[in-house]
Structure 1
């Protein structure tokens, strides 16, 4: 697998910029890429999104040059698998220290 621009930037300890979506939205995620951000995150832990919302938002970004991350509230493998299957580039699990 070829590393993404985000992975390369993080490995090089470069600064990256991103924004977060916390609720269902008609406009928004694509605009992060248009504004030059490196990633967009979807907050299922603190926001008003569920797996289905995130899947729809990720599909909107399939052909947009921006990395995606999803913050989930637990280590439950079912939602982790669903958001990865939907195309998330990264998953952030709440209250896990590594």
Structure 2
């Protein structure tokens, strides 16, 4: 199984150092991914990119050693599941203000019986 440097840092009580990408460029994503960061986040919420761009960027990020992360535009199961299917190993969900919203976000990320994420034969 692939390492998750971000979670390893957190488990050790250390901060994770990473980069954020908001411009659609798989070339930039690959360069940043090779900078020995703990994570690289593709920002779909505020970035100048869409899911199709994020797919290619995640492929490039997965060439590096850092954890690929996506900040989705909202707490919605479709975009969360698609981001995970595309290769994200972490999801940042914005505008979560209640316990119920946080629990829903977790459900969308996990397969049954712990969650409600659907299975697809993509980059799982």
**TM-score under structure 2 length normalisation:** 0.70
Residue aligning to 2:86? 86
Which protein is richer in strand relative to its size?
1
Residue aligning to 1:49? 49
1:76 to partner: Cα distance: 1.3
What is the DSSP-based 3-state SS (H/G/I as helix, E as strand, rest coil) of the residue aligned with 1:46? coil
Taking only aligned residues, the RMSD between alpha carbons, in angstroms, comes to 1.9
Tell me, yes or no, if the aligned pair for 1:32 and 1:39 is still in contact at 8 Å: no
Tell me, yes or no, if the aligned pair for 1:73 and 1:94 is still in contact at 8 Å: yes
Q: Which has the higher contact order (CA 8 A, sep 6+)?
A: 1
Runs of 4+ residues deviating >4 angstroms = none
1:35 to partner: Cα distance: 2.4
Q: Aligned pair in 2 of structure 1 residues 2, 55: CA closer, same or farther (>3 Å)?
A: closer
Structure 2 spans left out of the alignment, 5+ residues: 103-124
**TM-score under structure 1 length normalisation:** 0.86
CA separation in 1, counterparts of 2:2 and 2:36?
A: 21
More deviation, 17-26/84-93: 17-26
Residue aligning to 1:14? 14
Structure 1 spans left out of the alignment, 5+ residues: none
More deviation, 29-38/70-79: 29-38
What is the DSSP-based 3-state SS (H/G/I as helix, E as strand, rest coil) of the residue aligned with 2:59? helix
Please identify the structure whose Cα radius of gyration is greater. Answer: 2
Residue aligning to 1:65? 65
CA separation in 1, counterparts of 2:68 and 2:40?
A: 5
